[in-house]
A and B are shown apart, each in its own frame.
Chain A
Amino acid sequence: MTGGEGRVVVTGIGAITPVGAGRETVWRRLLDGTCGTGPVQSFDTSGYNVHQGGEVHGFRPEEHVATLDPARLPRASQLAVAAARMALTDAGLETVSSPPERCGVAMGTTSGEPREVEVLDDDLVAERLDEAGAGFIARYPCHVIAGNVAAELGFAGVNAMIPTACAAGNYAIAYALDALRSGRAELMLAGGADCFSRITYTGFARLGAISPDVCRPFDRNRKGMIPGEGAAVLVLEPLERALGRGATVYAEVAGYGLTCDAHHMTAADPEGAGGARAMEKALAESGLRPEEVSYISAHGTGTPTNDRQETIAMKRVFGEAARRVPISSVKSMLGHTMGAASAIEAAVCALAIHTGRIPPTIHLEEPDPECDLDYVPGESRELPVEVAMNNAYAFGGNNASVIFRRLRDGKSAP
């Protein structure tokens, strides 16, 4: 994968997160260790024993959505469309010169547009049967997210909606990478989106997975994850195209690995075998050895089991090198933004390479003997990042690793 042909780079980043929106703002706040989680405002949590969430506050879709009617878009689509617009602007592609048929969209999600089911359920429970279901098909099915992005931008090429839960952003980036390498598209927007929803919140609350206060990944006293919302979209294009138009290249997408534990719907394999295989596949495709990885963006949800098993999986792949590679989880700041999470974390990897800085894992104060690696606690770190690995795991036993690397003089890092 080191030849000039078929190489794909990241040239634009758009993100809407609980710590802010836009590449520069999000990156600054993540490096500053800003906590974006707090008391849930979207709905009344008085019936729950937990109350914290990672919501996006003050988001005004009309500031971003130009073609479609922003008020008529469901929430996850609003976030996705806004992130897509930001990404194109960031890439210097306010006007896309490529034919629309060559421009595609691949988006991931966990729940699609769950608020549309909630509207339906409110109607059904209240026995408003005459109203129930109106507009449901136009607004609910998850593929409307990728459709709304494409309709907003006039993108008439490849269009894929990949609802592989909390690994979906990585799946979408991987799909887009292959679409570009195979020549099915020459410009792809890839990312993920999910909105805050009572269904998701209720579910994680019933699993006992939500932390009562903050998300503290890899800490001995970690109490769980914090459901969140957001969207991130990356502009991906072939290297030659990016160089030809003088684009800023944040990073190259080097390779990926996708596997399944085939073990349990909501719990990872305790031995980390599936996660390890995904990392190994990604390394193999990228032509890299484990010790060449400069940074790992961990899935790091803050649940007792995830962080322990993820640590086991990293040790399986990296061996002794596991102790030397800095690892962090931005979920400590954002909460778990579901289908958006690994897309946001992919942006983190690209920006770590681009800026030579690594965001911290905040709230990590008391190390867990079972999580004994370098999780960059508390403070961001400056260090040249040549290769960044983005790991994501999901319901269904999905494991997805994507590797990014620095581009040097139009060539990849050694």
Chain B
Amino acid sequence: MSAPTRPVVVTGVGLVSALGDSAPELWQALAAGRSGISEITAFDTAGLSCRRGGSIDGFDPRETLGQANFRPLDRTGRLATVAAARALDDSGHGGADRGDRTDHAGEAEIGLVLGTMFGSVHTISEFDRRALVAGPQYAKPLDFANSVINAAAGQAAIWHHLTGVNGTISGGTTAGVQAIAYGADLVAGGRVDAVLAGGAEELCFESFLGFDRGGLTAGADDEPAAAVPFHARRRGFLPAEGAALLMLESEAAARSRGARVLAQVRGHATAFDPSRGRDPERAAATVERVARWALDSAGVAAEDVALLSASASGSPSGDRSEARGVASALCGRARELPVTAVKALLGEALGASGAFQTVAALGSLARGTAPGISGLDATDEGFPLPLAGPDERPVDPAGVALVVAVGLDGNVSALVISGGEDLGSGSP
């Protein structure tokens, strides 16, 4: 016997981004073409080819969580904990004060599934370097607690009294989509009443250095199109940070507590390209397969797809695999498909990206229009998707959104979501 499967809906969204701290703010910024990219000042970029990124300057957890001791939480932990507070609040499950209460009798058991590529590699590296320089007896135990990759999920759970399943999932840039899919399955299977699912990632020197040395960033600021998704002159992405979490629960539970239903998670799929992108044919075929599986699992056809919320980041190989794979999966529908690509303005927020893409898709289904792709004025010859540039594109709110995540080294995941009946109320 399979575990019970129940329809899973989204009842709240919480986020921290360079483009606003709520789903409507983020959507408005994307639609207005406002960029979250800036010169990096949080760490020294001397000697690196790329000096820009999507950093959230001035992020202060006190604005959401109040005066408290934040020392035990590193930046990833703070981003995740603030996003969780906002999602709890938005869903009506109780916000920032939830963890302060002593009596939790009768309330829903809420879990957390966090997608992250690194947790905080900055915390890990600092812990190690202090031990190297000063001796192991001077390494900070508090930092060690945060050196585990699931530290942010644990910290957010402690803060908000989230006693359900506490999962962390990594797949590089697919982690956010994988986490939402995993969370939806846990709810569908009756394993937890509700789960916060999404991703969190911090921008830090250590990972930025790695991306830059790996030739994956957009490089120097001499080509405006260098980090524009799907652009003919794209060279790579701009690393970014942020957190976004969706509150997922069964439709029945949401209805019985009178919660707004913003969307439904209809299906998902994940797969791996054993060539890890080195073989362009296999890379595109993996995207095609994942898109088809996701639509099949949702029980919808290519014609039902109203929007692609793309993974594209400016990565030369990744964007091409995505465009080719999605076009193959959707056949004729691909010729008129509205496409939005949040990384044009947010940058590549790694484990959080898939969650941001999902939030943008929700907002677009709600409004019947999707943000265009900022800066996109030329695509490769023979590019298979009709990419219209920065102008908004109409989206059929009755259709489904396909959220695709293409990893840097073989992972591919996709989600299918549809609008909820309360979506038109304008909230997400």
* Interface, chain A (partner B; CB < 8 A): 1-3, 5-6, 47-49, 100-101, 104-105, 109-112, 114, 117-118, 120-122, 124-125, 129-130, 132-138, 140-144, 146-147, 150-151, 153-165, 171, 175, 178, 181-182, 184, 198-199, 202-207, 258-266, 274, 277, 281, 285, 394-398
Name the interface size band of chain B.
35 or more
Is B273 at the interface (CB under 8 A from chain A)? yes
Q: Would B274 and A397 count as touching, CB distance under 8 A?
A: no
Q: Is the interface of B mostly helix, strand, loop or mixed?
A: mixed
A395-B214 contact in complex given A150-B272, A158-B270, C-beta closer than 8 Å = no
State which of B20-28, B85-93, B130-138, B355-363 sits at the interface with chain A. Answer: B130-138
Q: Would B167 and A171 count as touching, CB distance under 8 A?
A: yes
Residue of B nearest to A130 (CB): B47
State which of B113-121, B331-339, B393-401 sits at the interface with chain A. Answer: B113-121
Is B422 at the interface (CB under 8 A from chain A)? no
Q: Would A160 and B178 count as touching, CB distance under 8 A?
A: yes
A164-B167 contact in complex given A178-B189, A181-B2, C-beta closer than 8 Å = yes
Chain A residues near B128: list those with CB within 8 A.
117-118, 121, 198-199, 202
Q: Would B212 and A395 count as touching, CB distance under 8 A?
A: no
Q: Would A159 and B272 count as touching, CB distance under 8 A?
A: yes
Q: Would B165 and A260 count as touching, CB distance under 8 A?
A: yes
Is B108 at the interface (CB under 8 A from chain A)? no
Most A CB within 10 A of own CB, among B137, B150, B162, B410 = B150
Q: Enumerate 19 A-B pairs (CB-CB under 8 Å) in ascending A order.
A: A47-B136, A122-B132, A136-B213, A137-B408, A140-B121, A141-B118, A142-B170, A159-B410, A159-B411, A160-B178, A164-B153, A171-B167, A182-B185, A258-B166, A260-B162, A394-B148, A394-B150, A395-B148, A396-B166
Q: Which one, B189, B272, B286, contacts A105 given CB within 8 A?
A: B272
Could you tell me the distance between the alpha carbons of A143 and B289 in the complex, rounded to whole angstroms? 21
Q: Would A398 and B129 count as touching, CB distance under 8 A?
A: no
The 10 closest A-B pairs by CB, nearest first: A396-B154, A203-B144, A136-B210, A163-B149, A260-B166, A159-B272, A133-B213, A133-B209, A258-B165, A265-B145
Q: Which one, B189, B271, B276, contacts A158 given CB within 8 A?
A: B271
Q: Would B141 and A260 count as touching, CB distance under 8 A?
A: no
Chain B residues near A122: list those with CB within 8 A.
132
- Chain A proximity of B357: nearest CB distance (Å): 18
Which B41-82 residues have a C-beta within 8 angstroms of A?
47, 72
Which B155-171 residues have a C-beta within 8 angstroms of A?
155, 157-158, 160-171
Q: Would A199 and B124 count as touching, CB distance under 8 A?
A: yes
Is B182 at the interface (CB under 8 A from chain A)? yes
Per-residue interface assignment for chain B, residues 258 to 292, with 1 indicating a CB less than 8 Å from any chain A CB and 0 otherwise? 00000000000111111110000000001001000
Could you tell me the distance between the alpha carbons of A356 and B295 in the complex, rounded to whole angstroms? 46
Q: Which one, A129, A144, A184, contacts B409 given CB within 8 A?
A: A144
Residue of B nearest to A184 (CB): B269
A143-B170 contact in complex given A6-B2, A112-B149, A118-B128, C-beta closer than 8 Å = yes
Could you tell me the distance between the alpha carbons of A160 and B127 in the complex, rounded to whole angstroms? 27
- Chain A proximity of B231: nearest CB distance (Å): 22
Is B317 at the interface (CB under 8 A from chain A)? no
Could you tell me the distance between the alpha carbons of A296 and B24 in the complex, rounded to whole angstroms? 50
Q: Would B144 and A202 count as touching, CB distance under 8 A?
A: yes
Could you tell me the distance between the alpha carbons of A143 and B3 in the complex, rounded to whole angstroms? 27
Chain B residues near A260: list those with CB within 8 A.
111-112, 154, 157, 162-166
A150-B410 contact in complex given A101-B271, A143-B171, A163-B119, C-beta closer than 8 Å = yes
Q: Which one, B1, B158, B212, B409, contacts A264 given CB within 8 A?
A: B158
Q: Would A137 and B157 count as touching, CB distance under 8 A?
A: no
Chain A residues near B269: list those with CB within 8 A.
184
Chain B residues near A112: list those with CB within 8 A.
149, 170
Could you tell me the distance between the alpha carbons of A130 and B132 in the complex, rounded to whole angstroms? 20
